[in-house]
Amino acid sequence: MRGEEQLNANAGNSIDNTIKKDHIVWQGKPSQWVNFPAILFYSVLISVLLYGQAYFNRSNYAWDYSQYIAYINLVIYIILAYFVIRLVYKVLQIYYTKYELTEERLIEYTGITGFFQTEETLELYNIYDYQFPAPLFLSLCRRGSLRLLTHDASQPVVNLIAIRERKKVYENIRLKVEDLRIRKKGYFNDPAA
């Protein structure tokens, strides 16, 4: 019994040591500039709805539909609430997204608040290609996106959207991937070891 406890204690220590060795190399968050088109779109829709409400609330019409004004206002308020909730959700979704690059993993935290938050972990040696999508408005804001193509079945494509210093992040990931491939395949290891 004592031998099993010692074995379990040693296994726990090795796990703790690998977690400690796997320190964070880079942390990043996407920029809210990703939401600029949505913010613009919803702002226009909300403005049109508010203008429509003011237009329908005027009382100088040729026909009398005053009994329907309350229902029209209710429908407009429901649509406005829907647009505002969608916009707030998109902003919070980007706000709570976070990326962490460690020596061996890329971790992506997504979801609003800790209760709904998910954590996706990608082993870096699974990355086989890189792509650089370049939206114009992001490059004007000094942001860029990095798309990682992987052999991982759960996430074949990982997008790091609207991050700062995309080239530095790319170089950091590329160097870590090459280093891991060399270590995993056993190249340059001492044959006597």
What phi and psi values does residue 52 have, to the nearest 5 degrees? -60, -40
Which tens digit of pLDDT belongs to each residue from 38-47? Answer: 889 988 988 8
DSSP-derived secondary structure for 89-141: HHHHHHHT-EEEEESSEEEEEESSTTTS-EEEEEEGGGEEEEE----HHHHHT
What residues does each domain of the chain span?
36-93
Residue 57 predicted with pLDDT over 90? no
Which tens digit of pLDDT belongs to each residue from 93-128? Answer: 999 999 999 988 999 999 887 678 889 999 988 899
Rg (C-alpha) for the chain, rounded Å, is 26
Helix (H) or strand (E) holding 150: strand 144-150
The pTM (predicted TM-score) of the whole model is: 0.72
The pLDDT mean for the chain works out to 80
Residue with tokens 């860029």: 144
Burial group, residue 17, by CB count within 10 angstroms (0-12, 13-18, 19+): exposed
Q: What is the reported pLDDT for 168? A: 92
Q: What is the reported pLDDT for 28? A: 92
Beta carbons of 124 and 176 less than 8 angstroms apart:
yes
Beta carbons of 100 and 106 less than 8 angstroms apart:
yes
Closest CA to 28 of 132, 84, 102, 111: 102
Q: HSE-up of 133 (CA within 13 Å, CB side)?
A: 16
